[in-house]
């Protein structure tokens, strides 16, 4: 199992044709560095597709998800990135309004 200690959401949309290397470059541009055991979420401009980039300490993993109906609820505003809790991440991936969930739970999973 891939360990994820922190989850970060990039508020700026990205081209979903981007592969692992381009997403990693975007992580460095937005977050400063790709930290081990951190996950980074990106969405397309329409909010119908997301990609998750995870640095596991040895390499980088990339996963993608698409909604056929509806849109992912994405952060909008002046902040380029936002930390997510485990519950917020779970809700976001399902396309639910994750902003209504509490911000104090941990991302760590067993």
- Give the pLDDT mean for 15-25: 93
- Give the pLDDT mean for 17-21: 92
Query: Does residue 37 surpass a pLDDT of 50?
Result: yes
The pLDDT of residue 87 is: 84
Q: How far is CA 71 from CA 45, 96, 102, in A?
A: 10, 9, 22
- Give the pLDDT mean for 48-69: 91
**Chain segment 73-104, per-residue pLDDT in tens:** 776 665 667 788 888 888 888 888 787 776 65
Structure tokens at 23: 């997403």
The pLDDT of residue 103 is: 63
Question: What is the full DSSP assignment across 39-103?
Answer: EEEEE-TTSSEEEEEEE-SSSEEEEEEE-SSS------SS-SEEEE-HHHHHHHHHT--GGGS-S
Model confidence band, residue 3 (pLDDT cutoffs 50, 70, 90)? confident
């Amino acid at each position: 199992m891939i360990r994820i200690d922190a989850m970060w959401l990039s508020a700026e949309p990205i081209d979903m044709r981007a592969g692992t290397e381009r997403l990693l470059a975007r992580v460095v541009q937005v977050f400063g560095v790709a930290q081990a055991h951190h996950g980074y979420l990106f969405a397309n401009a329409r909010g119908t597709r997301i990609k998750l980039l995870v640095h596991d300490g040895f390499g980088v993993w990339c996963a993608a998800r698409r909604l056929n109906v509806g849109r992912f609820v994405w952060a909008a505003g002046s902040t380029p990135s936002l930390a997510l809790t485990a519950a917020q991440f779970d809700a976001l991936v399902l396309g639910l309004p994750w902003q209504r969930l509490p911000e104090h739970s941990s991302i760590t999973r067993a």
